Structure 1
Amino acid sequence: MKREMTGAKMVVQALKDQGVDTVFGYPGGAVLPIYDEIFLQNDIRHILVRHEQGAVHAAEGYARSTGKPGVVLVTSGPGATNAVTGITDALMDSIPIIVLTGQVPTFMIGSDAFQEADTVGITRPCTKHNWLVKDTDKLAETIHEAFHVATSGRPGPVLIDIPKDVQFATGTYVPPKPSTSHYQPKVKGDIEEITELVAAIEKAKKPVFYTGGGVINSGPGASQLLRELVDATGFPITSTLMGLGAYPASGANWLGMLGMHGLYEANMAMHDCDLLIAVGARFDDRITGRIDAFSPNSIKAHIDIDPSSINKVIKTDIPIVGDVAHVLEDVLKIWKSRGRKTQAEAVQKWHAQIDEWRKVNCLAYRPSEKTIQPQYALQRLEALTKGHDRYVTTEVGQHQMWAAQFMGFEDPNRWMTSGGLGTMGYGFPASIGVQIAHPEALVINVAGDASWLMNMQEMGTAAQYDLPVKQFILNNERLGMVRQWQELLHGSRYSHSWSESLPDFVKLAEAFGAKGIHCDDPAKLDDAIMEMIEHPGPVIFDCVVEKHANCFPMIPSGKAHNEMLLGDASTEGAIESGGAVLV
């Protein structure tokens, strides 16, 4: 039923009709009419962040842990430009968020008015689509369309720029209706291509599933179908950083993560396989290594809902455009109807070869009784938290890779990290978004000291809403990954990769009314982690770790998967190479 109302009221009504329960935002002059409408209702909860970048990352955490789109509300000018990093992060990682920005009145656009910026122009390259709404009658319809675009096909961020006079003006509200949008992505895969993939599955002797965040974005059904297909065929499976949890880490066919800091056995399997089945992954450069040497002898199948991803980086023999869940359903159906055939004996030999690669023990490190090794810190964090209803976010750097290596995820939507853009400062606000969505869960942000400081002001948000987020900071007083590259590639010339004036994290926590914990003794680490877990409010855990630990395995820049650097504690089949071992 159509109703007359102001543009500001339309915004709130449209969000309600789209099922939105939470908005992350920061007020300013150009969005005050919308904030006034938020004040006058109780159905939508507004979370006041301390920086607009934090609002977008929090919305990403909310979206990734729930499968629902996140919503952001910020003002014009610097409010919008502060959101750009988060929006770009969401675009790179295919996260559905709706960003509502205020804009100066329509009659002032182009006059360099106070807090004016060309928000649509600035965000065009980093949104899936954006709109400037100049007619109040079109506002509700545009918001409904934005939700459709953000959540359909390959998900992503969208932005609606709303001038202040459009918010004040009265117009006709149009409720959502079955979409008549021109944007209707193809979800069913081509049956001939799917049948060709099934035929390849029947013939493969050294197959591997290479899965990515697209499996998780497709919804819980896709993960269930993937698990059924993997377990039924007995094929090994690896995943990108973004796809962790789609297949359980405890699963019999799990190889661990692949890529630049992936496991030796996963990367070797990718290099030597004869059938590579990419499912919801985009052949990112951190995965492929040297493109001309990537999985050189395999037939390559690629399942992706985004047609532009097919053949973009790696030439594909069997391209299948469609939603992961729909395609996997058809793969299973056709494979079963043809007799569930695989080269079982050959696949068993392939697993035996993978077991030989596992013996390299690529995650081995040298423990210490005096200093907390970062790998040990994450092993203990994993052991002491895995029985909980747990969600993990991360910042970006060495700690992020160690968390992916040493923490196991049994289910999708439990692991939130910045993949494509690699955004330092992502993890803390993302953990806030996750905690808002799952108030009773244990939410841990694995951080580095440098990354965490980038959005440390969000401690104000955690304290204001009494969110029990746990900030587990691996403090090496360094920009760890930068320092590692400088050691390995730049002659140990550590140009500006250390911190000389870090805060006392315990006192910082207390200044925000939170709990601070400091630990630098491996013998006391378990008790300190338990204290963090059991504390009912927000915690900053300052875990002081070995300053010059390196994150291995590592595929050096410009090298192939079978040319990996391993830590010197991994010895089999390796030779010394400057503090690391070269395989």
Structure 2
Amino acid sequence: MTQIDGHGGDLALAALRGFGVEELFTLSGAHVFPLYDAAHKNGVRIVDVRHEQSAVFAAEAVAKLQRRPGLAVLTAGPGVTNGVSGLTSASFNGAPVVVIGGRAPQFRWGSGSLQEMDHLPIVRAVTKHAETIFATDEVYSRMQAAALAALTPHRGPVFVDLPLEVVFSQADGVDAAPAPAVPHEEADPDEVARAVRLLAAAQRPVIVAGSDVWAGHATAALREAAEALRVPVFANGMGRGTLPPSHALAFSRARKAAFGGADVIAVVGTPLDFRLGFGDFGGAQVVHVTDAPSQRAGHVTPAAAPSGDLRAILAAFASYTGLVADHEEWIEALRAAEDAGRAREQQALEADTDPIKPSRVYGELRKVLAEDAVTIGDGGDFVSYAGKYLEPSQPGTWLDPGPYGCLGTGMGYAMGARVTYPDRQICVLMGDGAAGFSLMDVESLVRQQLPVVIVVGNNGIWGLEKHPMRNIYGYDVAADLQPGLRYDDVVKALGGAGETVEKPGDLAGAFDRAFASGVPYLVNVLTDPEDAYPRSSNLA
């Protein structure tokens, strides 16, 4: 077995590099200087931010896009607490984020050192694993175990903090085992067989592909299963693009017809939460396929619920040799509903109105986004329109806050996406409310030469709250922002570029200039405050 020497920072980073970590996101703090030293000596990229939440969101983006640990390093006390929203987002999204926190020295604990606090009670509720390491020679093995926990389905964030004397102290001759393989639970074969029989025998089956299909490297297996069984596929989260929009079994506009008419719905790799009507599909039987037993729905009794390695489960679906019902009439009916939905939306995508409708913004963006562009949603109503009108052509190219719904992810996600893909289009879709959470981190993008395009739908209100409150009470409060704010001027002041667009006909030119600029570029689109996203789902 190889042995290594070094301080606590050297050992922690060496353990994580075995899992593919090649960058860390941080906001500078003296408690974690040895981690910076280790990164500097070993060519690990350091990306620093203006608020710790952006560091954790950036690590989450890397974790989701690259399907390996994303690393955030946070200084003690407020550095850690500022990162809690990012940890919670990663928990809801099943992202294998590793957060290393600095910690006041243990030998002086209780004496009132700077930022002396026990972080673990704060982070335990939103992590898979949280611990403090008190011995330098244990840092390598325990950091390795933490990263493995993050990657083991169901994936999620872990937190490790290192007291000052542990991370600065030297250890020699530490055993450095290679990174172990990630374990995958084997699904009950009887439950898998029950699930595939239900799908195959159904007259009107549907598959919903979620983020864990991407995270579990199961996109090809899902496509093969859908094609073998001839089942229409819908998607949410990072499952979007599992089948390209041109595929005969890919649907997005016929969801109401599908969920209302299906007799069996297989939900694969996503929870039965508010995004899917809490699993209440009328008379349809539900098959819930998850990557770990902990993800099985407790509020629904599925007809089948296989749990384990999604690739293996879906491969079993694809290789099914029993009788498969004829689904062609059902597919044709959904295709008719899909085509009708697309025809209805075409007018919205071309709307020539003053003020600009959000739908027109996406009608123009669809023309300029490359097939491998990474699109990032950070907002309420404006981003809901993005989910409706933008169709990823490839899996793993859509990032949004997920079911936690935390605003402020945009700049961190943009950093993680740009670090992952230096040559792709990276486009952040941001409401003007969301812009208030993280726009200062444009300076981090500019300083570290991380160009992205930011499109702000600027309607001067908290649209997700204003319109519903009016409907409930007949008035609204605490739902207005300053109309017409020049968020593009903020970006210019921080070293980027941008412009404000007030007329629909000016959108195309603005987007062309943005993607050609090679700098962080914000297109500030003044949109119609009276336009409310037609939300039909029950959020609670």
**TM-score interval for Structure 1 and Structure 2 normalised by the shorter chain:** over 0.9
Structural mapping, 1:375-524, within 5 Å? 375-387=359-371, 389-491=372-474, 493-500=475-482, 503-524=485-506
State the SS of the aligned residue for 1:420: helix
Aligned to 1:301: 287
Q: Check 1:537–1:73 CA distance in 2 against 1; reply closer, same or farther (3 A cut).
A: same
Structural mapping, 1:77-476, within 5 Å? 77-171=77-171, 172-177=173-178, 179=180, 184-186=183-185, 188-219=186-217, 222-256=218-252, 263=253, 265-288=254-277, 294-333=280-319, 335=320, 337-338=321-322, 341-344=323-326, 347-355=327-335, 357-358=337-338, 359=340, 363=345, 367-387=351-371, 389-476=372-459
CA offsets 1:372-401 (integer angstroms, 9 cap, x no match): 1101101210122135x4111110201221
Give the superposition deviation at 1:110.
4.1
Q: Check 1:110–1:185 CA distance in 2 against 1; reply closer, same or farther (3 A cut).
A: farther
Give the superposition deviation at 1:34.
2.6
State the SS of the aligned residue for 1:23: strand
TM-score by length of 1: 0.87
Give the superposition deviation at 1:503.
4.3
State the SS of the aligned residue for 1:141: helix
The one-letter amino acid paired with 1:210 is V
Structure 1 contact 240–287 (Cα < 8 Å) conserved:
no
CA distance in 2, matches of 1:266, 1:246: 16
The one-letter amino acid paired with 1:232 is A
Structure 1 contact 28–75 (Cα < 8 Å) conserved:
yes
CA distance in 2, matches of 1:391, 1:420: 19
Give the superposition deviation at 1:170.
2.4
CA distance in 2, matches of 1:555, 1:149: 34
Structure 1 contact 25–46 (Cα < 8 Å) conserved:
yes
Aligned to 2:14: 13
Range that drifts further, 427-436 or 302-311: 302-311
Q: Check 1:352–1:34 CA distance in 2 against 1; reply closer, same or farther (3 A cut).
A: closer
State the SS of the aligned residue for 1:321: coil
CA offsets 1:165-218 (integer angstroms, 9 cap, x no match): 1112222433133649xx9551x2221122222222231101110221110110
CA distance in 2, matches of 1:234, 1:329: 14
Structure 1 contact 428–471 (Cα < 8 Å) conserved:
no
Q: Check 1:185–1:226 CA distance in 2 against 1; reply closer, same or farther (3 A cut).
A: closer
CA distance in 2, matches of 1:297, 1:202: 18
Aligned to 1:575: none
Structure 1 contact 443–470 (Cα < 8 Å) conserved:
yes
2:534 to 546, 549, 552: 552
* Identity rate, percent: 23
Give the superposition deviation at 1:353.
3.5
CA offsets 1:315-348 (integer angstroms, 9 cap, x no match): 1111101121111112222x1x33xx3221xx22
CA distance in 2, matches of 1:364, 1:482: 27
CA distance in 2, matches of 1:33, 1:466: 25
Structure 1 contact 396–426 (Cα < 8 Å) conserved:
no
State the SS of the aligned residue for 2:306: strand
CA distance in 2, matches of 1:285, 1:501: 31
CA distance in 1, matches of 2:387, 2:109: 46
CA offsets 1:30-66 (integer angstroms, 9 cap, x no match): 1123333333x14201001111000001111222222
CA offsets 1:78-135 (integer angstroms, 9 cap, x no match): 0000010000000000111110100011123344432122211110001111111011
Give the superposition deviation at 1:424.
0.6
The one-letter amino acid paired with 1:6 is H
State the SS of the aligned residue for 1:116: coil
Structure 1 contact 428–452 (Cα < 8 Å) conserved:
no
CA distance in 1, matches of 2:396, 2:483: 36
State the SS of the aligned residue for 1:517: strand
Give the superposition deviation at 1:436.
1.2
State the SS of the aligned residue for 1:238: strand
CA distance in 2, matches of 1:124, 1:285: 25
1:534 to 516, 525, 529: 516
CA offsets 1:207-260 (integer angstroms, 9 cap, x no match): 1102211101102xx11111122123221111223421222222212221xxxx
Range that drifts further, 242-251 or 125-134: 242-251
Aligned to 1:37: 38
Q: Check 1:502–1:377 CA distance in 2 against 1; reply closer, same or farther (3 A cut).
A: closer
CA distance in 2, matches of 1:546, 1:369: 9
Give the superposition deviation at 1:296.
2.8
CA distance in 2, matches of 1:524, 1:501: 20
Structure 1 alignment gaps of length 5 or more: 257-262, 559-583
State the SS of the aligned residue for 1:319: coil
CA distance in 2, matches of 1:354, 1:490: 38
Give the superposition deviation at 1:467.
1.2
Structure 1 contact 450–479 (Cα < 8 Å) conserved:
yes
Structure 2 contact 52–79 (Cα < 8 Å) conserved:
yes
TM-score by length of 2: 0.94
CA distance in 1, matches of 2:275, 2:460: 26
Q: Check 1:331–1:356 CA distance in 2 against 1; reply closer, same or farther (3 A cut).
A: closer
The one-letter amino acid paired with 2:359 is Q
CA distance in 2, matches of 1:12, 1:553: 45
CA distance in 2, matches of 1:199, 1:4: 56
The one-letter amino acid paired with 1:439 is P
CA distance in 2, matches of 1:175, 1:74: 25
